[in-house]
Amino acid sequence: GNKYVGEHKNGKYHGQGTYTFVDGQYVGQFENNKFHGQGTVTFTNGEKYVGQYVNGQYHGQGTYTFEHGGKYVGKFENGNSHGQGSHTFSNGDKYVGQFANGKFHGQGTYTFVNGKVTKGNWENGLFKD
């Protein structure tokens, strides 16, 4: 069920193309059969990533919209939120700050929808001070 329409180089997906797979579709740049460069992947469950890819993984600046309405905007590294970013949850809570390997890590501010604010140092997703 997978289908690729686009540019090729040396028998590989390379350049601009569209790759349709069982769980969604990617439209963007390819290099050596991998998502590489600027692209958009839209999943059948409604999730979507728009941003940069390196060797098939989210890497660089991007926006990931989750199935139930949450959204992360910021830096990615090796497929995870990593660096400066903001994560807005579907209930309205929001974290703005540093991430490492997909978790709150470093300086950040978590603002709850009820107005409560937790600001300071985070480690592995947990508030430290």
DSSP secondary structure of 94-120: EEEEEEETTEEEEEEEEE-TTS-EEEE
Both tokens of 86, joined, read 């903001």
d(CA 5, CA 118): 48
pLDDT for res 35: 98
DSSP conformational letter for 92: S
Average pLDDT over residues 47-65: 98
pTM exceeds 0.75:
yes
The CA distance from 75 to 39, in Å, is 15
- Residue 116, pLDDT score: 97
Residue 129 has pLDDT above 90, yes or no: no
The pLDDT value given to residue 70: 97
Average confidence (pLDDT) over 48-59: 98
Please state the rounded mean pLDDT for residues 58-65: 98
Select from 96, 98, 57 the least CA-distant residue to 80: 57
